[in-house]
């Protein structure tokens, strides 16, 4: 009701607006008006527990009236280009008192109904906004291509979309995402864990709100290791040896499953092995650096997992769902997957290994340190610049990154929250063992801070996959990848 009242007040002339806003303050004396678009200056409004009672209320009313009067004379209760409050741009229709429907495009999150639960909770908290879910492809590349086609064509749908953390460079360059800092105050971005907002920032503008983080982890069957009297592996070589022992002893069908298909997920896996081996995709001068001894070591090991029988040949077409299902069905001893895999593996009805799983940071190559590297991933929330419901879009993003929504993601679905308060909550960490080991993990990012990243990643995963499938040699795959990387960064097209 408060949102509806204030939306109505903002449509009248400045003098009437001043009077109506003060009336609203009296009508809703303890409301958190700072959450309403355009009223960020009421952040200090006293709560019910404040001391001073009536005196403080009178003082706050006078202060609020003075601030509103000043703003009204300058902005007529509307500031489309303001960078201090989430106001809708002038091209969007003014908020109305009727119900608004926004379209949220999002690929499945762990395939366990997270999206629908969050929508239900949001609509309960914001009854004037209905969210229509558009389920996107689970393939990141297909999802990205679909959204680019729609938005670049001027479509107003979707209003909000969930996108990979590596998209800001390309989406900013092609004007496919609305700069959020044009609408949200700077204080909004302080809720996120360190470093996340920088990843969504291109040339001073923030193009996405961090939604949830991802990082790679090693999941293992505790019961199988105990029965075989084997320790939890700390090196890749040890994992390969133990997995081979378990398969040879017919204790499990597959030793180790992971994401080896020709898609973005393989780039993530590759970054973990390559970085741990001491390599990098580009050198300090920005030149392709894939055809090196470190890259040879990393890709030879990955191919060796398949040729040794530790990983099935089919792993070269595995994405996250295939790897997860194989592990959940009890057919694999080890799994490399994202943080969601913990909750997924512990869900009765979809997993046969409930209570039998452990999770640790990814291993390292022998002699390369105490632990390996995990590719940092995750998903952000973006706004279509052509959306006609900017105010509702902002309300949706504000709630989805708030403590209540992020607590659901972390405690019920083992996603790593981006909200720092939730990420550091002892209660949440107690329910999510993945959060307790995030700090022990060496994180590595993909080389995504440029508009050509889509081509860069394609050059990586297509050639690495060709080697995994045995279509080309390791040396040929790396040589071809290097040449394609040079072409990608030198291209004039995205």
pLDDT of 79 over the 50 cut: no
Q: Lowest-confidence range among 31-35, 79-83, 272-276, 394-398?
A: 79-83
How sure is the predictor about 431, in pLDDT bands with cuts at 50, 70 and 90?
confident
Least trusted range by pLDDT, from 94-108, 236-250, 361-375, 433-447: 94-108
The 10s digit of each residue's pLDDT in 375-389 is 989 999 999 999 999
Q: What is the pLDDT of residues 196-248, one digit of tens each?
A: 998 899 999 999 999 999 999 999 999 999 999 999 999 999 999 999 999 99
CA atoms within 13 A on the CB side of 443: 14
Region 444-463 average pLDDT: 91
Position 85 pLDDT exceeds 80? no
Check residue 62 and give its pLDDT: 34
- pLDDT beyond 50 at 30: no
Task: State residue 65's pLDDT score.
Answer: 34
The tokens describing 13, both together, are 């002339």
At 73, the pLDDT band (50, 70, 90 cuts) reads: very low
Mean pLDDT on 242-261: 98
Share of the chain above pLDDT 90, in %: 68
Of the CA atoms within 13 Å of residue 72, those in its CB half-sphere come to 20
Residue 172 has pLDDT above 60, yes or no: yes
Give me the pLDDT at residue 436, please: 85
Name the least confident of 9-13, 128-132, 239-243, 435-439.
9-13
Tens digits of residue pLDDT in 411-430: 988 899 999 999 989 999 88
Per-residue confidence (pLDDT) for residue 93, from 0 to 100? 34
Say which residue, 379 or 438, is predicted with more confidence.
379
Do 311 and 305 meet the contact criterion of CB atoms below 8 Å apart? yes
Residue 84 pLDDT > 90: no
Nearest to 392 by CA among 177, 136, 95, 74: 95
Higher-scoring residue by pLDDT: 40, 193: 193
Find the range with the poorest average confidence among 69-73, 262-266, 422-426, 467-471: 69-73
Weakest mean pLDDT among 184-188, 303-307, 376-380, 437-441: 437-441
Do 438 and 416 contact (CB within 8 A), yes or no?
yes
pLDDT of 328 > 50? The answer is yes
pLDDT at 54 over 70: no
Average pLDDT of 464-488? 97
**pLDDT value at position 111?**
66
Residue percentage of the chain with pLDDT more than 70: 79
Residue 45: pLDDT over 60: no
For the ranges 62-76, 290-304, 475-489, the lowest mean pLDDT is seen at 62-76
> Is 72's pLDDT higher than 60?
no
Of residues 16 and 433, the one with the higher pLDDT is 433
Per-residue exposure over 391-422, b if at least 16 CB sit within 10 Å of its own CB, e if not: bbbbbbbbbbbbeebbbbbbbebbbbbbbeeb
Q: How confident is the model at residue 491 (pLDDT cuts 50, 70, 90)?
A: low
The CA distance from 380 to 106, in Å, is: 10
pLDDT tens for 292-327 read: 999 999 999 999 999 999 999 999 999 999 999 999
Using pLDDT thresholds of 50, 70 and 90, give the confidence band for residue 195: confident
Mean pLDDT (the chain, rounded): 83
| pLDDT for position 494 | 54
What's the pLDDT score for residue 435? 86
């Amino acid at each position: 009701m408060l949102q509806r009242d204030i939306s109505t007040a903002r449509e009248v002339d400045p003098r009437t607006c001043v009077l109506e806003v003060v009336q609203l303050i009296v009508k809703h004396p303890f409301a958190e008006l700072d959450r309403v678009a355009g009223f960020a200056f009421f952040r200090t409004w006293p709560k019910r527990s404040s001391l001073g009672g009536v005196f403080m209320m009178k003082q706050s009313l006078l202060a609020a009236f003075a601030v509103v009067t000043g703003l009204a004379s300058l902005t007529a209760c509307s500031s489309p280009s303001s960078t201090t409050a989430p106001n809708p741009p002038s091209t969007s229709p003014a908020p109305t008192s009727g119900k608004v429907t926004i379209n949220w495009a999002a690929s499945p999150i762990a395939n366990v109904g997270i999206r629908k639960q969050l929508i239900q909770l949001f609509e309960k908290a914001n009854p004037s906004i209905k969210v229509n879910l558009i389920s996107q492809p689970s393939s990141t590349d297909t999802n990205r291509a679909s959204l680019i086609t729609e938005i670049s064509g001027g479509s107003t749908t979707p209003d909000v979309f969930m996108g990979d953390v590596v998209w800001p460079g390309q989406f900013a360059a092609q004007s496919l995402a609305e700069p959020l800092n044009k609408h949200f105050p700077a204080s909004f971005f302080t809720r996120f864990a360190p470093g996340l907002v920088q990843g969504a920032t291109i040339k001073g503008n923030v193009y996405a709100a961090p939604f949830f983080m991802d990082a790679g982890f090693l999941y293992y069957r505790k019961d199988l290791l105990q029965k075989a009297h084997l320790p939890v592996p700390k090196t890749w070589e040890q994992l390969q040896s133990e997995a081979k022992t378990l398969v040879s002893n017919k204790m499990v069908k597959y030793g180790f499953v992971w994401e080896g298909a020709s898609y973005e997920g393989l780039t993530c896996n590759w970054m973990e092995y390559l970085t741990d081996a001491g390599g990098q995709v580009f050198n300090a001068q920005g030149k392709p650096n894939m055809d090196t001894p470190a890259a040879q070591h990393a890709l030879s090991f990955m191919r060796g997992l398949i040729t040794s029988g530790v990983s099935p040949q089919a792993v070269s077409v595995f994405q996250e769902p295939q790897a997860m299902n194989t592990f959940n069905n009890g057919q694999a001893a080890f799994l490399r997957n994202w943080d969601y895999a913990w909750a997924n593996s512990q869900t009765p009805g979809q997993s046969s290994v409930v209570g039998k799983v452990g999770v640790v940071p990814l291993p390292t190559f022998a002699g390369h340190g105490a632990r390996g590297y995990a590719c940092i991933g995750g998903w952000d929330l973006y706004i279509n610049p052509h959306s006609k419901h900017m105010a509702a879009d902002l309300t949706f993003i504000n709630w989805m990154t708030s403590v209540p929504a992020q607590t659901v993601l972390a405690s019920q679905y083992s996603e790593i929250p981006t909200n720092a308060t939730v990420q550091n909550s002892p209660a949440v960490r107690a329910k999510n063992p993945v959060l307790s080991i995030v700090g022990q993990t060496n994180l590595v990012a993909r080389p995504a801070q440029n508009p050509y990243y889509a081509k860069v990643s394609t050059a990586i995963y297509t050639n690495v996959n060709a080697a995994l499938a045995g279509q080309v040699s390791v040396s040929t795959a790396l040589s071809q990848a290097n040449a394609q990387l040079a072409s990608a960064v030198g291209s004039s097209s995205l």
